[in-house]
């Protein structure tokens, strides 16, 4: 009789006595019918269930042949690891006790990391963004694995194969280890599952917001949108700062939808009402409380009970009303006009917005500083349209002019470049009016720079700036750019790829990764003139740099942000 101890990560050890001519199949859901070719001839093994995610359905088979203990891994994902007596082989003669580790238990501290947020622009590129982020993460951790993107399998397949992970948009990610990685591989899969699930939630959140009409194409507005969604999940109070017409109310509605609150979304514009009317609009009024109050008024706070109250242009709230809002935020209590001494209560989440510098107003005493501190739990900057040319393009593509022609199709490249450099002081209102001025019967490329300028100037408050000449890399002429830099860029990219992978690109997937992760970032960095500018220190500075240099290589700004981010991540500054 031999005693075998089976140990899985985070599970108590299981000890089994194995007699002569006996066999034992160990796994998460052991089934001898699933591994008929692995069984000893003429034996039907007992089974031992070890309920650990690191253990495969059929993991390892143990049996005795005479006095020898035999072990066979039957296709486990994470391996079977023996703690052998000194100088013993895998076939263990005359063994009295054997310890079998079902995958190893240790993984380095880096298992707390996750891949960076995926870079993508639409549903078609979402899966590719996930793929590249996971590949880069595995490369950074030094884990040898192949990662690929495929059409989604049936859900029951994904359930049985942890290395196949569903990706929004009808795709799945497949991870296969190239090395013996013990329990670390199970931790890797767990991290990737969590990461992809979180990215899928962001994808779905953006899809819902787009369905409501908010344009989400540029990295800047998508970053703000993600902050809003995350704040809603935490039930954090939010203050949106940004110019009029930049989409603040749309983001406030997104907040309400993702907050999980069952009550109504109620919006109040604080700049449209005087102190008495705003007070009654917010907190209500009893019948006869003032002239014209012929019946009780239910205030916005009461209407939003259990939901979200959006206070737009909160900087314009009259000074007399601000302490009433402060009391409600502190204590959840309010009083209707004409009902003094009879406080009411309401459960309301408040999200505020303004197009003014509320910090300056608080410093100058024009807005209560204590109210600022109550409202500013999370301050989110909503960028102006001038910083979001991708959103301009998305809006133009969605506006039809003629049969099969969008406003984007109607503009020549020179006209689009004029729009790229326009200030858009009126944000989306100005953009919508610009599209209305375009000819309804426009043909593809029928609106040139002159016609575009004329349409812009009709609605602009300031003269339309001419299109600046794109910057050129210092010391290079128009004809010398490519011939001088291309060989150097290709050499640097290949050298970096070999450093990271220990081989040259050998497959089509290798070549795609070489182009996307090495050559393109280097090309954009050097050919756009970014190499002559100060290295960015934050994501925001990368976005700003990308917006300045993208015209030099006629790249859209989302592409420039993505490739510059990759450059500074891999090659530094």
Own/partner contacts of 432-435, CB < 8 Å, gap of 24 or more, are 432/395, 433/459, 434/459, 435/395, 435/396, 435/399, 435/407
Q: Do 174 and 290 lie in a common domain?
A: no
Q: Do 155 and 277 lie in a common domain?
A: no
Q: Is 340 a member of any domain?
A: yes
Tens of each residue's pLDDT in the chain, 573 residues:
788 888 787 678 888 888 877 889 998 888 888 776 666 667 788 899 988 877 888 888 888 887 788 888 887 776 676 655 544 445 666 656 677 767 654 444 345 578 888 877 677 788 988 999 999 898 888 888 889 999 887 655 555 577 889 999 889 999 987 765 455 777 888 889 999 998 999 899 999 998 888 999 888 899 999 999 999 999 999 999 999 999 999 999 999 999 989 999 999 999 988 888 898 899 988 876 666 666 788 889 999 999 999 999 999 999 999 999 999 999 989 988 877 778 899 999 999 999 999 999 999 999 999 999 999 999 999 999 999 998 999 999 999 987 789 999 999 988 998 998 899 999 999 999 999 999 988 888 999 999 999 999 999 888 887 655 444 444 344 444 555 667 778 888 888 888 777 778 888 888 888 888 889 888 888 877 777 776 776 666 777 777 777 777 777 777 888 888 888 888 775
Q: How many helices (H) and strands (E) does the chain have?
A: 20, 21
CB 50 within 8 A of CB 6: yes
CA distance 60 to 79: 9
CA distance 10 to 21: 31
Provide the 8-state DSSP code for 109: G
CATH code of residue 134: 3.30.70
What's the structural domain count of the chain? 5
Closest CA to 380 of 206, 539, 239, 202: 239
Provide the 8-state DSSP code for 364: T
Name the pairing type of β-strands 23-27 and 60-65. antiparallel
Q: Is 468 a member of any domain?
A: no
Q: Which of 101, 129, 144 is the last residue of a domain?
A: 101
Q: Do 271 and 365 lie in a common domain?
A: yes
CA distance 517 to 497: 9
Residue 20's CB is within 10 A of a number of other CB atoms, namely 10
Q: Is 469 a member of any domain?
A: no
* Main-chain phi, psi angles of 84, to 5 degrees: -90, 150
CB 57 within 8 A of CB 30: yes
Q: Do 502 and 558 lie in a common domain?
A: yes
Q: Do 428 and 492 lie in a common domain?
A: no
Q: Do 510 and 529 lie in a common domain?
A: yes
Range of the domain at 285: 236-381
CB 195 within 8 A of CB 164: no
Q: Do 486 and 414 lie in a common domain?
A: no
Q: Do 203 and 117 lie in a common domain?
A: yes
3-state secondary structure 1-33: CEEEEEECCCCCCEEEEECCCCEEEEECCCCHH
Q: Is 336 a member of any domain?
A: yes
Q: Which of 329, 353, 381 is the last residue of a domain?
A: 381
Q: How many CA atoms lie within 13 A of 4 on its CB side?
A: 29
> Reduced to 3 states, what is the DSSP secondary structure of residue 406?
strand
Predicted TM-score (pTM) of the model is 0.61
Q: Is 224 a member of any domain?
A: no
- The structure tokens 């506006």 sit at 399
Q: Do 128 and 154 lie in a common domain?
A: yes
């Amino acid at each position: 009789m031999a005693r075998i101890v089976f140990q899985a990560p985070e599970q108590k050890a299981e000890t089994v006595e194995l007699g002569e001519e006996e066999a034992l199949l160990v796994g998460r859901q052991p089934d001898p019918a699933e591994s008929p070719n692995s069984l000893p001839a003429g034996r039907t093994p007992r089974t031992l269930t070890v309920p650990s995610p690191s253990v495969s359905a059929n993991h390892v088979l143990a049996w005795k042949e005479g006095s020898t203990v035999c072990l066979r891994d039957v296709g486990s994902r994470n391996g079977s690891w023996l703690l052998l007596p000194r100088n013993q082989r895998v076939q263990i003669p005359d063994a009295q006790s054997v310890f079998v580790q079902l995958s190893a238990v240790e993984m380095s501290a880096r298992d707390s990391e996750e891949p960076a947020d995926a870079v993508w622009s639409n549903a078609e590129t979402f899966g590719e963004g996930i793929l590249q982020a996971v590949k880069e993460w595995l490369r950074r951790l030094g884990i040898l694995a192949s990662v690929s993107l495929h059409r989604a399998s049936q859900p029951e397949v994904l359930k049985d194969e942890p290395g196949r992970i569903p990706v929004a948009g009808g795709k799945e990610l497949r991870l296969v280890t190239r090395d013996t990685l013990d329990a670390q591989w199970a931790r890797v899969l767990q991290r990737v599952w969590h990461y992809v699930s979180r990215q899928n939630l962001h994808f779905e959140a953006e899809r819902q917001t787009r369905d409501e009409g908010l344009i989400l194409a540029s990295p800047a507005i998508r970053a703000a949108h993600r902050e809003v969604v995350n704040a809603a999940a935490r039930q954090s109070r939010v203050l949106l700062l940004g110019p009029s017409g930049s989409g603040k109310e749309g983001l406030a509605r997104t907040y309400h939808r993702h907050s999980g609150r069952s009550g109504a979304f109620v919006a109040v514009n604080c700049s449209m009402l005087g102190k008495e009317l705003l007070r009654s609009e917010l907190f209500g009024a009893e019948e006869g409380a003032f002239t014209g109050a012929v019946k009780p008024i239910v205030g916005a706070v009461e209407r939003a009970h259990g939901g979200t109250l959006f206070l737009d242009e909160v900087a314009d709230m009259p000074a007399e009303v601000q302490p009433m809002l402060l009391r409600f935020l502190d204590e959840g209590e309010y009083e209707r006009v004409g009902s003094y001494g009879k406080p009411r209560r309401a459960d309301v989440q408040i999200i505020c917005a303004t197009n003014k510098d509320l910090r300056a107003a608080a410093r100058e005493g024009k807005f209560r500083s204590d109210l600022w501190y109550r409202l500013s739990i999370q301050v989110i900057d909503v960028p102006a349209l001038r910083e979001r040319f991708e959103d301009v393009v998305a809006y133009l593509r969605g506006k039809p002019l003629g049969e099969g022609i969008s406003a984007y199709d109607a503009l020549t490249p020179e006209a689009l470049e004029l729009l790229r450099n326009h200030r858009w002081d009126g944000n989306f209102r100005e953009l919508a009016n610009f599209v209305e001025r375009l000819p309804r019967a426009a043909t593809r490329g029928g609106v040139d720079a002159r016609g575009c300028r004329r349409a812009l100037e009709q609605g602009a408050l300031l003269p339309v700036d001419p299109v600046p000449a794109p910057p050129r890399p210092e010391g290079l002429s128009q004809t010398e750019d490519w011939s001088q830099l291309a060989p150097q860029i290709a050499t640097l990219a290949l050298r970096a790829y070999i450093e990271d992978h220990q081989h040259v690109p050998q497959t089509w997937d290798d070549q795609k990764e070489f182009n996307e992760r090495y050559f393109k970032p280097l090309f954009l960095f050097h050919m756009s003139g970014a190499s002559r500018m100060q290295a960015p220190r934050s994501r925001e500075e990368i976005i700003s740099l990308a917006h300045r240099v993208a015209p030099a290589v006629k790249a859209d700004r989302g592409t420039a942000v993505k490739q510059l981010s990759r450059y500074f991540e891999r090659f530094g500054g």
